[in-house]
A and B are shown apart, each in its own frame.
Chain A
Amino acid sequence: GAVVSQHPSWVICKSGTSVKIECRSLDFQATTMFWYRQFPKQSLMLMATSNEGSKATYEQGVEKDKFLINHASLTLSTLTVTSAHPEDSSFYICSASIAEHTQYFGPGTRLTVL
């Protein structure tokens, strides 16, 4: 149980375009979902926390207009990278939590911006 999926697993896009990444909890309803960014050989950096039906809470230094988060249901959150640039290339990982404290992570999405 507690499976989280992400789609796509890898996306390559041109600079200036927008990319949407989906995060789904497959077998549970997640009260809260989180979006992280990971650079090669580095730790995960929390970008934002989202609760279903409300606006996401962004971490300091994360541009909310660039990284749009929508948490439309208890099983789906989306991250849209708007007007992507090469410096946005990274590994984006989502996680979902239920009441028991534990976060369950998706497999990650690798974004490459040319």
Chain B
Amino acid sequence: AQSVAQPEDQVNVAEGNPLTVKCTYSVSGNPYLFWYVQYPNRGLQFLLKYITGDNLVKGSYGFEAEFNKSQTSFHLKKPSALVSDSALYFCAVRDQAGTALIFGKGTTLSVSS
């Protein structure tokens, strides 16, 4: 069965510092991996995805993620955090045969000024 783990409930970083939000996955076959961000009382906004190709994926708002097949990870990163990045971040996976996304529990990112 597909599953996604986000081991951290909350990540705290200072503005200007690099940030990492962790995600590991379990799926049969090749995974399709996604990161979404959710602001309070809002829907989800797509950040980036990995389908195939280059392991380093660049997305919206300066975020990037690295697909690591051996570690089954897809950590979200940003070189310099902004206070406005504070939000709830979800990692999601689907397998090639499926259509629905399976979401991690979410990680709250808090960026302090």
Contact = CB atoms under 8 A, between A and B. Distances in A.
A98 to B, nearest CB: 11
Interface stretch (A14-22, A66-74, A76-84, A106-114): A106-114
Interface in A23-62: 32, 34, 41-44, 46, 49
A113 B31 CA distance: 38
**Interface range on chain A (Cβ under 8 Å from partner):** 20 to 34
B51 A44 contact: no
Nearest to B9: A41
Contact of A107 (B43, B99, B102): B43
A74 to B, nearest CB: 15
Given A43-B103, A108-B41, A102 B90 contact: no
A94 B48 CA distance: 19
A89 interface: no
Contact of B42 (A4, A95, A107): A107
Contacts of A104: 46
A20 B54 CA distance: 43
B101 A46 contact: yes
A105 B103 contact: no
A83 B99 CA distance: 30
Given A43-B90, A101-B51, A106 B43 contact: yes
Given A43-B103, A49-B100, 12 more contacts: A6-B43, A32-B99, A34-B101, A43-B106, A44-B44, A49-B99, A95-B101, A101-B32, A102-B46, A103-B46, A106-B43, A108-B42
Interface of A: 4, 6, 32, 34, 41-44, 46, 49, 91, 93, 95, 97, 101-108, 110
Interface of B: 32, 34, 36, 41-46, 49, 51, 90, 94, 99-106
8 contacts: A32-B99, A43-B105, A43-B106, A46-B101, A49-B100, A93-B43, A101-B32, A110-B41
